[in-house]
Structure 1
Amino acid sequence: MARIYNFSAGPSALPEAVLRQARDEMLEWQASGMSVMEMSHRGKHFSNIAEQLEVDLRELMAIPDNYKVLFLQGGATGQFSFIPLNLLRGKTKACYINTGAWSEKAIKDGGRFCEVVVSASSESEKFTTIPAVAEWQIEPDAAYLHYTSNETIHGVEFPFIPDAQGLPLVSDMSSNILSRKVDVSQFGLIYAGTQKNMGPAGVTVVIVRDDLIGETDSRLPDVFNYAVQAKNQSMLNTPATYNWYLVGLVLKWLKSAGGVGAIEAVNIRKAASLYDAIDRSSLYSNPVQTEFRSRMNVPFILSDASLDKEFLSQAEANGFAELKGHRSVGGMRASIYNAMPEEGVKALIEFMAEFERTRA
């Protein structure tokens, strides 16, 4: 078997050790006589899996006791609507920072349920930077301040936690959760789809402070009501049981690798080496302001766009997959999430250098 280096933005590569364990446990989980995907979500076997899943995530992120941890469905995209319905709590407006495509989607969907105040935007800079904090206009009577911590399409990442000026801070961390340390206590709510750093698609993690839930919009179905799901251990409806199990395996893998601090150090090295190779090149370039470059998603363009198809074809022939940039921005993109080993980034850099040498 020859596995490729998968640079997909999501669903993304999973740790090989996790895939091997899932393979070994496919027919039977720990002498239960059945596969995880056959288990009742109410039974003792799956209860053990679910309980450990939350314990491990709390440990990895140092989640305080006054936060609920929910494992839901509907993706981060679903949360664009469910967040205002859960968190407005009688208020009529919410503030958003616009730094790219996913921010724009959150703003659009949030606007269905409240007045959205765009407190800052980098659209005029083609989403290649983070708006200067001094220029942010945050409304004190808003329900919360929302931002996307990492924009997968444009490759822009916040290197700091914003000051919400007294508002609950809400963050979409779908593409960089568990890749760097964060102080959860500074947030009102963190949410993330699992298909980047945490597991396969199909699970959405919501970490929400106790005092923010319970006063919801009457239009909100119970299945998306944070308070109701918290009371039911995220099992008001049948959850994506096998996906929960796989997320749990990824968390155990991360713990065995030294935790979030250890993987952050690896991510810093991976990103630094790839950006350095791009910056030293005359063929490749990255448009993002240096201090806001993403550690997870590295977009780059070729100075001669006529070489794009050849680059992608040669990359695939050499075992590098999913390097084509998003259709809205073009070019290339290497997503180097936690599961991408350093040797994968090193091999990509060597390929890029050889491609440039032979085209010089």
Structure 2
Amino acid sequence: MPQLYIGIMSGTSLDGIDLVLADFTSKPNLLSRCLLPFPASLQRELRSLAEPGDNEVERIGPVEYQLTECYAAGVKQLLQHANYQPELISAVGCHGQTIRHRPSQAQPFTMQLGNMHLLAALTGIRVIADFRRKDMAYGGQGAPLVPAFHQAFFARAGQNRAVVNIGGIANISLLHANGSITGYDTGPGNCLMDDWVSLHRQQPYDKDGVFSAEGKLLPRLLQQLLSDPFFQQRGPKSTGREYFHLPWLQQQLTGQEAPADVQRTLCRFTALSIANELQLPNLSEVFVCGGGVHHPVLMADLQQLLTPAKVKSSSSEGLDPDWVEAMAFAWLAQAFDQQRPGNVPAVTGARKACVLGIEYRP
């Protein structure tokens, strides 16, 4: 029987919903994919809910319903494009939309929006979701969860490799030559650059790195950003947009900086916060996935900082960089069905490896 799974990921960059149809019968095979942009009103509401505000419970209800309808529409579009019927799909692995992630509090919690009962009803397909809280119940950060998939796909015996996912937040997976794995969130990926270019250029992201390329580095600001306590912590650690957001950045500024100079500095800030965590002896290759792979200034910064390791797109290993996270949540749904652990305790800090997820039947 084919092992067909759908993965749904909508991340902290809030650029839309990534959906993939994957075949895990042998090695992971991406059969079809689609990106469903958020309606502007939903994107605004999700961005607002990612930061503390008023009357959040009343606002969550309709936002979650609309978000789930978008997930279901994306599944329908994906299956139509691939010419598959819903009954052929084993399950949908859905991450949900994170609006709060507080793993370091005395009573840690994480919250992802998405009515998974409704998603199962609308699609007619089993849904596996709520992947993070089981890990947190055993003392883990609940993030990042993608390294288990990175290990399955990218690890090579006898080689020190790394995988860097640069979405809204950046995370790394260190794939050691001896077969062990470590990893964690390194800090902002694209989120601050996206917020800044949106504020000053009314663009959703810094397309082709044009805005960054116009500016020059501001060393004082760069050091100030890197002095945040988050960067002094050792892994396991995780973070989100509720921590690194536009007001956090604006508190660091004098108001006299040229906008393009701030953008260039944010680009270097992302690169340095990643590279500082990848100073491994004999690191041979670094595979980049997520939206950051399309930012040429960021990729050039990473290559400069990580030489002699070669910085490459994950496409060099046959995996499209735009769909790695969605593939990972399809893989986690399969792991649930096979009762395989989906977390890596060395990455999240959990006391044990756990089967992750909850099943929702139509």
Q: When the two structures are superposed, what TM-score results if normalisation uses the length of structure 1? A: 0.26
Larger-gyration structure (1/2): 1
Q: When the two structures are superposed, what TM-score results if normalisation uses the length of structure 2? A: 0.26
